[in-house]
Amino acid sequence: MLNNKTVLITGGTGSFGQRFIATILTRYKDVKKIIIYSRDELKQSLIQKNYPRAQYPQLRFFIGDVRDRDRLVQACEGVDVIIHAAAMKQVDTAEYNPSECIRTNVDGAENVIYAALHCHVKDVIALSTDKACAPISLYGATKLTSDKLFAAANNIRGTKDIRFSIVRYGNVMGSRGSVIPFFIEQRETGILPITHKDMTRFNISLQAGVDLVMFAIKHHLGGEIFVPKISSYKILDMAAAIAPECDIKIVGIRPGEKLHEEMITASDSIQTIDIGEYYAILPSVSYMYSTDDYIEHHHATRVALGFSYNSEENSQYETITSLRELIVQHVDADFQVL
């Protein structure tokens, strides 16, 4: 799929980008070029140390911001596939700096679309978030706007052979700022701060997120939002899995934070299909394909009208034991309960 192709990853120095790079190099030995596009020169230099030029001549490192359209166009020359992972992601930071969040998440999305069309890229996959589903925070609202921009970009491609799609998933195990490394660090204090005792979250590994993107590259028609079928966990179960000896301190839900994660609302059900391992939310306006075209292409079925997908009502839940096993497998191989 990616052999003899050039791939560009915006925000390529983040957790996702680093795992995506490693996956490409493992699965596609003949990949032509991997371009890591980000504004973080320190992280780029650290990645370069892990992939010496002599051994990995296919890697390229571009300093640039998705806000800079001209630089994006330069970086996208000759590119076949774009993975758009760059975003301003901290909910509270976005609330305090709304204009900056809009410039990165909305204007940046438009710039990626422009560069992809201008440079005749073939496939574009944008990373979304559960917070774009019925958003209550600015971050979620900007990501919903980004999703809409990428879905609608298929309607302005004209005769160009290009497809734009989106993948949406929730918190990634062990990613920066996520609850697992935070709880592991906090357990030395003897107290775990919990926002709300009833809180639930979806659970996905970094590799599963990468695999979802790989699936989208291979199978998308354009305009779909791909959503993985994954398990949930209760925040109190996660606390018990990591630090059963700690006291719990309820600190309250933070601004812009939800009690439960949502990825598909009941209002989305009319446009949602079940494609087996994943769901796909179809574009509300498409001049290229009908719903029946998507169903036939993906060998899919429609979900029931009123169907919704959220972490509270999910039929699959992790247990305290399974959470510990997943932490060892995906986050910290040396993890053990103190």
The 10s digit of each residue's pLDDT in 36-95 is 999 999 999 999 999 999 999 999 999 999 999 999 999 999 999 999 999 999 998 999
| 63 residue type, one letter | I
Q: Is residue 176 part of a domain?
A: no
> Does residue 254 lie within any of the structural domains?
no
Domain boundaries, position 225: 6-170+204-229+263-309
Of 5, 89, 131, 143, the active-site residue reads: 131
Q: Tell me whether residue 84 is in a domain.
A: yes
The yes-or-no verdict on residue 176 having pLDDT over 80 is no
User: Which tens digits make up the pLDDT trace of 26-51?
Assistant: 999 999 999 999 999 999 999 999 99
Give the integer Cα–Cα distance in Å for 110 and 103: 10
User: Where are the strands (E) in the chain, listed by range?
Assistant: 6-10, 33-38, 59-63, 81-84, 123-127, 163-167, 191-194, 200-203, 225-228, 231-234, 247-250, 262-264, 272-274, 278-281, 301-302, 309-310
Residue range 230-285, pLDDT digits in tens: 999 999 999 999 999 999 999 998 888 899 999 999 999 999 999 999 999 999 99
Per the domain annotation, does 77 fall within a domain?
yes
- In the numeric block, the tokens 């073939």 are attached to 122
Quote the pLDDT of residue 316. Answer: 94
pLDDT digits (tens, 9 = 90+) for 94-109: 999 999 999 999 999 9
Q: Is residue 326 part of a domain?
A: no
58: in domain: yes
Q: What is the pLDDT of residue 323?
A: 96
Name the residue with tokens 């107290």: 191
pLDDT tens-place string over residues 102-161: 999 999 999 999 999 999 999 999 999 999 999 999 999 999 999 999 999 999 999 999
Residue 156 lies in a domain: yes
pLDDT at 257 (0 to 100) = 86
CA pair distance 60, 86, nearest whole angstrom: 17
**Can 32 be counted among the known catalytic residues?**
no
CATH number at residue 161: 3.40.50.720
Considering its fold, how many domains does the chain have in total?
Answer: 1
pLDDT at 338: 76
Helix axes 108-118, 69-76, angle to 10 degrees: 40
Q: Which pLDDT does position 175 carry in this prediction?
A: 80
Q: What is the pLDDT of residues 191-231, one digit of tens each?
A: 999 999 999 999 999 999 999 999 999 999 999 999 999 99
Residue 25: closest CA among 4, 62, 56: 56
Cα distances from 141 to residues 107, 137, 172, in angstroms, run 13, 6, 20
Name, in order, each residue with C-beta under 8 angstroms of 136's C-beta and a sequence gap of 6 or more: 256, 258
**pLDDT score, position 309:** 97
Task: Provide the pLDDT for residue 256.
Answer: 80
**Maximum separation of any 2 CA atoms in the chain, in Å:** 62
139 in any annotated domain = yes
